[in-house]
Structure 1
Amino acid sequence: MSLILALDLGTQTGWALRDRDGAVTSGSESFKPQRFEGGGMRYLRFKRWLTEIKQSCDGIDAVYFEEVRRHAGVDAAHAYGGFMAHLTAWCEHHQIPYQGVPVGTIKKHATGKGNANKDQMISAARLRGHAPADDNEADAIALLHWAVETQEV
């Protein structure tokens, strides 16, 4: 069985991981800029975090991330672009296949509605037996289930 990492990229990154035994773990990780920290440090912390996950589970076979086409604001768009650039470069460096999946595709698979709200996504994750801490984790869980059920991984 493939080890899959699903990510909802952002300052508060949701993640879900299916290990080689089929067990799913998930969480939400903050990459909020710290006081007295340069603008690029959040991305260095993000890359270090990815490497720690890879080392803790003896490799990652595939990465799926939520592909956002529209953002509420300029800052969110810039942050997302930075996380996506670092993620894809990290995957290329480690020769890990990666794929972006449109938000509507994930929401429709999880809830039947391509425009599901945050509460509906959290409820969908709970119906599958998960207990997400926030909507970011719920989105990553939904993405992981989409990947497992549609991508033959």
Structure 2
Amino acid sequence: MIILTVDLGTQTGWALQTREGHILSGSESFKPHRFEGGGMRFLRFKRWLTEVKGADGLDAVFFEEVRAHAGVDAAHVYGGFMGQLTAWCEHHQIPYQGVPVGTIKKHATGKGNASKANMLEAARQRGFTPVDDNEADALALLQWAISQEQTS
């Protein structure tokens, strides 16, 4: 299965399992550019999703489901990305699922309230070299998704 996982936000962490089982990951910035309208970050996000989907397609998308945000702006940005992601998945008929933050952290570290540093360390212990905590979260989510696939 080709699985994409994303940690949604202005700095979006992502991880992808290819059909061959290889894992690719990174962190993509959707920070608004100077002189851009407020919706451009979301259009760039949709274009990025389409590029990731490529010719091989995606079998499933998982995203980190955040219930509490540091502030109103963060909540609005997250909601915008989640709306774009779910609509894009519906349009392309790709199954998607939100996974609570605590579930991801507990799977990666054994603690549902693990810190960013704990998540980075857990990724490194699994042989990955994430550039930031967003990529580490996406990698942890991918590991969770793979484990769910193996048990079903």
Once the two structures are TM-superposed, the CA of residue 150 in structure 1 deviates from its matched residue by: 1.7
Determine helix, strand or coil for the equivalent of 1:26. Answer: strand
Query: In 1, distance between residues paired with 2:14 and 2:76?
Result: 20
Identity %: 75
Alignment-derived partner of residue 80 in structure 1: 78
1:19 aligns with 2:11: no
Alignment-derived partner of residue 108 in structure 1: 106
Query: In 2, distance between residues paired with 1:150 and 1:60?
Result: 17
Q: What does residue range 74-153 of structure 1 map to in structure 2 within 5 Å?
A: 74-152=72-150
Query: In 2, distance between residues paired with 1:76 and 1:142?
Result: 22
Determine helix, strand or coil for the equivalent of 1:38. Answer: coil
Unaligned runs of 5+ in 2: none
Once the two structures are TM-superposed, the CA of residue 151 in structure 1 deviates from its matched residue by: 3.2
TM-score (norm 2): 0.98
Query: In 1, distance between residues paired with 2:52 and 2:74?
Result: 25
Unaligned runs of 5+ in 1: none
Runs (4+) of structure 1 exceeding 4 A deviation are none
Once the two structures are TM-superposed, the CA of residue 81 in structure 1 deviates from its matched residue by: 0.1
Q: Number of matched residues?
A: 151
Which amino acid letter does the alignment assign opposite residue 41 of structure 1? M
Once the two structures are TM-superposed, the CA of residue 49 in structure 1 deviates from its matched residue by: 0.2
Query: In 2, distance between residues paired with 1:128 and 1:68?
Result: 24
CA offsets 1:68-110 (integer angstroms, 9 cap, x no match): 0000011110000000000000000000000000000000000
TM-score (norm 1): 0.97
Which amino acid letter does the alignment assign opposite residue 90 of structure 1? W
Q: What does residue range 19-98 of structure 1 map to in structure 2 within 5 Å?
A: 19-55=18-54, 58-98=56-96
Query: In 2, distance between residues paired with 1:99 and 1:143?
Result: 11
Which amino acid letter does the alignment assign opposite residue 86 of structure 1? Q
Q: CA RMSD of the aligned region, Å? A: 0.9
Once the two structures are TM-superposed, the CA of residue 130 in structure 1 deviates from its matched residue by: 0.3
Which amino acid letter does the alignment assign opposite residue 109 of structure 2? T
Which amino acid letter does the alignment assign opposite residue 54 of structure 1? K
Which amino acid letter does the alignment assign opposite residue 14 of structure 2? W
